[in-house]
Amino acid sequence: MTTSSRPDPRPDRLILTCEHAGHRIPREHAPLFRGAAALLASHRGWDPGALAVARHLARASGVPLRAVTWSRLLVEANRAPANPRIWSQFTKSLPADERARILDRYWWPHRREVETMVQEHATAGARVVHVAVHSFTGVLGHEVRNADIGLLYDPARPGEAALCRRWQETLHAVDPGLRVRRNYPYRGVADGLPTWLRRRFGDDAYAGVELELNQQLLTGAGLRRMKRALAASLEQLLGFTAVRATGGGRTRTR
């Protein structure tokens, strides 16, 4: 699949990830979370609905999905190790060697696997379009988030900016009733897996988009609508026929 608006474009290769796909806690660390079941099940423990959408996109595109099902309260898969927010109230006071073991077992494998995938495609002459699927709570404190879909990217990278403008336009054509905003409700340059990868790969080799979905639309009819609109728009944006031959659609979880 190619993106014709870029001069002499590399072929695009889609990568799908979901960093907050679940709220599991390893048995060895379960005592740290005694009495925290409700918190783990809330938006603070994971991204409700994100995995369902990510799996649907994986099936539609034929691209394997890489997902982290350990809770972000164990270790935040979408933060860098130097960011204090990688640790939650339950884990920030652990000894340094224990936190290092958590990183080695539950954080690094996903990060290294995704980075290796990008490197392999880039070495083969392709541009990776990385869609990291997330969800956000519709109301945070006193703020009502006035978007259904957010597309987060780095405005300083022309490839990402152009891609997200086209995706916004395509989503509007597919489902005009969906409120789609760019770099909302978060900034695309904040600490995250795409930010990490941008430091390692140029704009011609890597375009990272964090797809943020309003959790109020991720149940029942709203979830079905979101799945249809996102799959149809992404197929129009990139074209899936070139990647279906890979036999993907599988989900690898950690």
Q: What is the pLDDT of residue 254?
A: 86
Q: What is the pLDDT of residue 247?
A: 46
Q: Looking at residue 106, what DSSP letter applies?
A: I
Residue 1 covered by a domain = no
Residue 42 covered by a domain = yes
* Amino acid in position 132: A
The band of 10, judged by pLDDT with boundaries at 50, 70 and 90, is confident
Residue 3 covered by a domain = no
Residue 2 covered by a domain = no
Average pLDDT score over residue span 198-227: 98
CA distance 2 to 125: 12
Q: What is the pLDDT of residue 22?
A: 98
pLDDT in tens, 21-48: 999 999 999 999 999 999 999 999 999 9
What is the SS3 assignment for 213? strand
Instruction: Report how far apart, in Å, the C-alpha atoms of 246 and of each of 44, 51, 55, 62, 238 are.
Output: 35, 21, 16, 7, 16
Structure tokens at 133: 């699927």
- The CATH number of residue 19's host domain is 3.40.630.40
Q: What domain range includes position 139?
A: 12-253
Please name the helix (run of DSSP H) or strand (run of DSSP E) that holds residue 253, with its range, or none: strand 251-253
Pairing mode of beta strands 149-152, 180-182: parallel
Residue 31 covered by a domain = yes
Q: How far is CA 95 from the centre of its chain?
A: 30
What is the SS3 assignment for 16? strand
pLDDT in tens, 49-67: 999 999 999 999 999 999 9
Residue 7 covered by a domain = no
Residue 243 covered by a domain = yes
Q: Name, of 1-10, 141-150, 245-254, the range with top average pLDDT.
A: 141-150
* Nearest of 254, 123, 99, 130 to residue 192 by alpha carbon: 130
Q: Domain total for the chain?
A: 1
Residue 241 covered by a domain = yes
**Ramachandran assignment for 31, one of left (phi > 0), alpha (psi -120 to 50 degrees), beta (any other):** alpha
